Amino acid sequence: MTDSDYRFATRAIHAGQRPDPTTGAIMPPIYQTSTYVQPALGEPLEGYEYARVTNPTRHALEANVAALEGGRHGIAFASGLAAIEAIVKKLSAGDHVVTEENTYGGTTRMFRTILARLGIDFAFVDTRDLDALRAAIRPETRLIHLETPTNPMMRVTDLEAAAAIGREAGIPTCVDNTFASPYNQRPLELGIDLVVHSTTKYLNGHSDVIGGLVVTSSDEWGEHLYYMQKAAGAVPGPMDAWLTLRGTKTLAVRMEAHNRNGLAIAEWLSAHPKVEEVYYPGLPSHPQHALARKQMKGFTGMISLELGGMARARAMVEATRLFALAESLGGVESLIGHPAIMTHASVDPERRAAMGISDGLVRLSVGIEDVDDLRDDLEQALAAAP
Ligand code: P1T
């Protein structure tokens, strides 16, 4: 049997990991080393020369997440942004990228303020509209970068259709799968070429690591990304790789709980008189609910809600007791945030407004606590809002 013969929850626990050959330790050791002693000049053991290039703990994580996404190569980076940067740096000055306009604010900021300055051109598109996606492609387009569901508006892009558009035009497609996690959505199975994660979120799941990872079945992309680890060096340390690997073991059970709590809270919020709008692809009222059901197995704990103004939003985020006011998402504990002031502060105000990231928008990362406690907390916080 190989890792890919097993079902998801089994792969989450076992893929990429074997008992340590010297002691039988069931957990992969944390190889906390910067270098490896060579028995003879030019003959490193098992190819281990220097830990920027190769580390056994990191390899276990890379193989594990590659198996979860169903890809051949997993390449880990020091953060989600470092992983996205490593992908785009396959391109050169003069090349063009079509990207979803509503990505995480930090992704947009990197594209606009760093990579654009180096001569890579970006078209920011609402990729729910496949005609708009097609129309944005130019002769020099070398990458289509998607994020679905998007952060924080929960827009959904049709991955199978977007992959087909890329394939017809000979342009590789990449999906930031951070919000869905591979438990709920596997873009490679829908024809997408590259999947990228901020492993900081659902994959690690315990809010104690910053990390990123790319999965692809393309040998050409795999080679580029391994080269980026080696030649540019934004790699995670072995302790962080090990913590993330411990997180992925429980991904299936955690995501079931996030999906269940997320749906229950989204349904409850939609009936609340102080909530004007709930953005959650799992609700039948979401304009792309049918598409979300087609390409996702569950809808996670990510919910955005419109409260109609800054005063009410501020009062709510400052009144919750269990939901902690903090950046980030995807951990077992519930978080609450205000995208316009926090995660998307670097996106210019007109663009934010055009996408619906208003001053009244609040984002929840629903954790896996008892859902009744979470509902009670939101109830008292909304009662405190004017
Ligand atoms: O923080 P880092 O590991 O570098 O990941 C960046 C990133 C990439 N992609 C998506 C979809 C993300 O949501 C993020 C980080 N997001 C937050 C910190 C946040 O609170 O939305």
Whole-angstrom distance, CA of residue 128 vs CA of residue 157:
5
Atom nearest to 84 CA in ligand 1 = 8
Domain shared by 239 and 366, yes or no: no
* Residue ranges around ligand 1 (CB below 6 Å): 79-81, 104, 106-107, 147, 151, 176, 178-179, 198, 200, 210, 212, 327-329, 343
CATH number at 259 reads 3.90.1150.10
**pTM given for the model:** 0.98
Per-residue confidence (pLDDT) for residue 4, from 0 to 100: 82
Residue 210 has pLDDT above 90, yes or no: yes
Confidence at residue 144, expressed as pLDDT on a 0 to 100 scale: 99
Contact predicate 80/203, CB 8 Å: no
In angstroms, what is the span from residue 342 Cα to ligand 1's centroid?
12
Same domain, residue pair 228 and 362: no
Maximum separation of any 2 CA atoms in the chain, in Å: 73
The CATH code of the domain that includes 242 is 3.40.640.10
Q: What domain range includes position 328?
A: 251-384
> How far does the centroid of ligand 1 lie from the alpha carbon of residue 329, in Å?
8
Look-up of token digits 């302790």: 239
Q: Are residues 179 and 314 in the same domain?
A: no
**pLDDT tens-digit map of 45-95:** 988 999 999 999 999 999 999 999 999 999 999 999 999 999 999 999 999
Residue 234 φ/ψ region, left for φ over 0, alpha for ψ in the -120 to 50 degree band, beta for the rest: beta
Same domain, yes or no, for 52 and 161?
Answer: yes
Active site residues: 52, 104, 176, 201
Residues 350 and 369 in one domain: yes
pLDDT of 1 over the 80 cut = no
Q: What are phi and psi of 142, to 5 degrees?
A: -120, -5
How far, in Å, from the CA of 48 to the mean position of ligand 1?
31
Domain end, chosen from 231, 248, 265, is at: 248
- CA within 13 Å, CB half, 62: 26
Q: Whose CA is nearest to atom 1 of ligand 1?
A: 80
CB of 159 closer than 8 Å to CB of 146:
yes
| Count of domains for the chain | 2
Which one of 88, 103, 104 would you pick to mutate in the ligand 1 pocket, going by the greatest count of ligand atoms within 8 A of its CB? Answer: 104
Give the closest residue to 310 by CA, choosing from 274, 270, 338, 277: 338
Q: What percent of the chain has pLDDT over 70?
A: 100
Looking at the DSSP bridge assignments, the partners of residue 74 are: 215
Which of 201, 343, 363 is the best mutation target for the ligand 1 pocket, counting ligand atoms within 8 Å of the beta carbon and taking the most?
Answer: 201
166 to 82, 333, 359: CA distances (angstroms): 24, 38, 35
For 314-334, what is the mean pLDDT? Answer: 98
Domain boundary among 219, 248, 277: 248
pLDDT tens by residue, 135-190: 999 999 999 999 999 999 999 999 999 999 999 999 999 999 999 999 999 999 99
Ligand 1 centroid to residue 170 C-alpha, Å: 28
In this prediction, residue 47 carries a pLDDT of 85
Task: Say if residue 220 is in the same domain as residue 310.
Answer: no
Whether 95 and 151 share a structural domain: yes
| 264 and 244 inside one domain | no
* Residue 135 confidence (pLDDT): 98
Q: What is the pLDDT of residues 221-259, one digit of tens each?
A: 999 999 999 999 999 999 999 999 999 999 999 999 999
Q: Tell me the mean pLDDT in the region 330-345.
A: 97
